[in-house]
Amino acid sequence: MDGPFKSSIEVSLERGGFSKNSSFVEGGPPRERLARGTGASRYEPSRLVDYMARTLRLSPSDALAIVEYNHAVFDRFVRRVRRLPGKEATRHRGTGHESLFDTLVHILNVQEVWLNYIVRGRNTEKILGELFDDPRRHPKDWHGFDAYSSRVWRGVKQTARGMSSRTLGRRVEAFWMPGRYSARDAFLQATLEEAHHLGEIIGALWQDDRKPPNMTWIDVRRPRSPTAHRRSH
């Protein structure tokens, strides 16, 4: 935007060294054209992405709000899948984790390993090996599922409540995930992976002409009266 008024995005980009002359590609990330050598130019697609990632700020209260949302929306889908007739919850569907039940279990696995282990620094081969071998992480019925779910979310909320700005910025490591990342990234990793797998469940439900629960942030976080809560279930 020219003139005295600029959007917050434009201001942020200029502070990061990006001007209105930067090159953008429709449908993809911005790409900064950088002069190299004798007037030749070269695209570096990652520069703006790296800058925006570095400027992302997730506060301790933000992390807790995201965890509360993750738990609430997860429980919505658990209730929906649990009410399916017959063996529909455990039927193999050709999705990433085959059944809707096992997809929900996988979401718990992800939340647990990232937020109850990796973020807390419990990431040695021995500790993670014992975790992965724990049969309680792979329940076969709803009774075992409920016990495991309670364990996971209790630990995740404890982790979130113990976060400070300093600990959110601390570097963490997972042996299967190369690169440099922080506890803040781990919260986002677990959140986005949960959203991805809930999307698989949504698609599977619609394929059977069944309506999935509403998963939007605004709807899930909206306070509801007891009467409205009963009607939604």
Give the pLDDT band of residue 39 (cuts 50, 70, 90).
Answer: very low
- Summarize pLDDT for 74-92 with one digit per residue, the tens: 999 999 999 999 999 999 9
What's the CA dihedral at 99, 63, 154, 101 to 10 degrees?
0
Structure tokens belonging to residue 142: 């709803």
Among 29-43, 71-85, 90-104, 214-228, the range scoring the smallest mean pLDDT is: 29-43
Structure tokens belonging to residue 60: 């301790």
Structure tokens belonging to residue 109: 């696995």
Confidence (pLDDT) at 54: 58
Give bridge partners of residue 36 from the DSSP assignment: 40
Give bridge partners of residue 182 from the DSSP assignment: 171
Confidence (pLDDT) at 137: 96
CATH class of 57-231: mainly alpha
pLDDT above 70 as % of the chain: 72
Element (H, E) at 42: strand 40-44
Burial code (b: 16+ CB inside 10 Å, e: under 16) for 83-121 equals ebeeebbeeebeeebebbbbbbbbbbbbbbbbbbbbbbe
pLDDT at 227 over 80: no
Contact 202, 215 (CB under 8 A): yes
Element (H, E) at 98: none
- Summarize pLDDT for 128-160 with one digit per residue, the tens: 999 999 999 999 999 999 999 999 999 999 999
Mean pLDDT of 1-25: 47
Confidence (pLDDT) at 31: 41
Confidence (pLDDT) at 29: 43
Half-sphere exposure at residue 67, Cβ-oriented, CA atoms within 13 angstroms: 28
Contact 58, 184 (CB under 8 A): yes
Which pTM was predicted? 0.74
pLDDT at 185 over 80: yes
- CATH 1.20.120.450 domain position(s) in the chain: 57-231
